[in-house]
């Protein structure tokens, strides 16, 4: 179960007895060689493709580097320029924040609502679950982003339908105030994956809690807010962390809908899209590295805040509280 895994990741390993520890130490020496053999591909990857590049990109973020001439040390210049001289950077930050704050909660709300609807022993439940899940597999593709582009274009399906009911918005992808929404809808459309996780979480809630609520005469809404939701908080927490981390890095939808430009008027200039433009169109590798490290810091900060706040609202039924 997901909740247990969150605990498994966050909580320290169980205490071992003294004898176990002694035996482990003896074993550790004997097994280290063979263990490193099994680990060698991972270790090479961790060193050459993760640790090394992380250090290198931190260094590059303090330089001007264009791939062809040697990096030139400029200190904090890139970071200063980002915040003081670069309007496109600031607008990419605000577009991305708006996207994260809209798409993650809406997607999880849709996931939870449909999970509640599906969570009853009915025929065809498995079929519906799979059908709801399908968009999560397809949604990351260029093909589906192209469909979104066509559905929300001027006199596309959405525009035409809205006109029929007297709302005249024009094509959404051509207008700054709507273009971000198109990508949010694309994200919310893929609520199937968190929904499946919610369903698994709902099945773990002990039936006697519901029975007790029924005996007490609790209404449906009261049962939901007092039993279901608290018992589900570990799953909500897990989904929230994953969604937020992922949505900070959203790229394909914005790239395809705006043809790599981030337009109109930078309204789909997501953070990663701007990073891509700076790094791989303008070859400002130092500048792009500074952006990458800022992204890492923000994601670490937000994840840290979520974990810190989880003590206040996430309820683990295994704990004495």
Residue 131 CA to residue 31 CA, distance in Å, equals 47
Examine residue 200 and tell whether it contacts other proteins (CB under 8 A): yes
Residues of this chain, 214-233, that bind other proteins according to CB under 8 A: 214
Report the residue number, 120 or 312, with the smaller CB distance to other proteins: 120
Q: Which of 97, 130, 225, 265 binds other proteins (CB under 8 A)?
A: 130
Residue 89 CA to residue 53 CA, distance in Å, equals 23
Report the residue number, 177 or 219, with the smaller CB distance to other proteins: 219
The CA-based angle 92-95-100, given to 5 degrees, is 120
Hey, is 14 helix, strand or coil? coil
Residue 303 CA neighbour count, 13 Å, CB half: 18
Peptide bond preceding 264: is omega within 30 degrees of 0, i.e. cis? yes
268: Cβ contacts below 8 Å, ≥ 6 apart: 95, 179, 180, 182, 183, 254, 257, 258, 262
Residue 148 CA to residue 141 CA, distance in Å, equals 11
Residue 143 CA to residue 166 CA, distance in Å, equals 31
Q: Which of 22, 97, 117, 265 binds other proteins (CB under 8 A)?
A: 117
DSSP string, 131-188: HHHHHHHHTTSHHHHHHHHHHTSTTSHHHHHHHHTT-----GGGSHHHHHHHHHHHHH
* Shortest Cβ 126–other proteins spacing (Å): 8
Report the residue number, 102 or 144, with the smaller CB distance to other proteins: 144
Structure tokens at 155: 């006199």
Binding mask 254-273 for other proteins (x = CB under 8 A): -xx--x------------x-
* Shortest Cβ 218–other proteins spacing (Å): 12
Q: Which range binds other proteins by CB under 8 A, 74-82, 99-107, 245-253, 310-318? A: 245-253
Q: Which of 93, 275, 277, 314 binds other proteins (CB under 8 A)?
A: 275
Q: Which of 62, 89, 99, 238 binds other proteins (CB under 8 A)?
A: 238
Q: Which of 16, 22, 42, 72 binds other proteins (CB under 8 A)?
A: 42
Report the residue number, 184 or 321, with the smaller CB distance to other proteins: 184
Binding residues for other proteins, total number by CB under 8 A: 110
Binding mask 21-40 for other proteins (x = CB under 8 A): ---x--xx--xx-xxx-xx-
Residue 201 CA to residue 235 CA, distance in Å, equals 6
Residues of this chain, 154-173, that bind other proteins according to CB under 8 A: 155-157, 160-161
Binding mask 48-67 for other proteins (x = CB under 8 A): xxx-xxx-xx--x------x
């Amino acid at each position: 179960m997901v909740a247990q895994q969150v605990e498994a990741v966050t909580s320290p390993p169980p205490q071992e007895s003294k004898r176990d520890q002694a035996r482990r130490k003896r074993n550790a020496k004997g097994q280290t060689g063979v263990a490193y053999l099994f680990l060698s591909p991972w270790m090479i990857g961790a060193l050459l493709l993760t640790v090394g590049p992380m250090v290198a990109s931190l260094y590059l973020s303090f330089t001007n580097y264009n791939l062809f001439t040697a990096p030139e040390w400029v200190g904090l210049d890139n970071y200063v320029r980002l915040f003081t001289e670069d309007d496109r950077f600031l607008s990419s930050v605000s577009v991305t924040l708006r996207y994260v704050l809209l798409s993650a909660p809406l997607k999880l709300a849709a996931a939870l609502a449909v999970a509640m609807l599906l969570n009853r022993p009915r025929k065809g439940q498995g079929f519906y679950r799979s059908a709801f899940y399908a968009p999560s597999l397809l949604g990351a593709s260029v093909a589906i982003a192209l469909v979104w582009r066509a559905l929300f274009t001027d006199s596309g399906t959405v525009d035409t339908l809205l006109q029929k009911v007297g709302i005249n918005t024009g094509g959404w992808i051509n207008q700054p105030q709507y273009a971000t929404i198109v990508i949010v809808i694309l994200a919310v459309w893929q609520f199937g994956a968190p929904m499946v996780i919610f369903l698994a979480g709902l099945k773990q809630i002990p039936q006697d809690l519901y029975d007790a609520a029924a005996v007490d005469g609790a209404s449906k809404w009261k049962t939901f807010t007092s039993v279901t939701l608290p018992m589900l908080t570990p799953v909500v927490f897990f989904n929230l962390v994953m969604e937020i981390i992922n949505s900070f890095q959203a790229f394909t939808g914005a790239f395809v809908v705006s043809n790599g430009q981030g337009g109109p008027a930078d309204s789909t200039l997501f953070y990663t899209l701007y990073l891509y433009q700076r790094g791989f169109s303008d070859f400002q590798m130092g500048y792009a590295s500074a952006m990458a490290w800022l992204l890492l810091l923000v994601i670490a900060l937000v994840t840290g805040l979520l974990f810190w706040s989880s003590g206040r609202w996430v309820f683990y039924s295994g704990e004495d509280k």
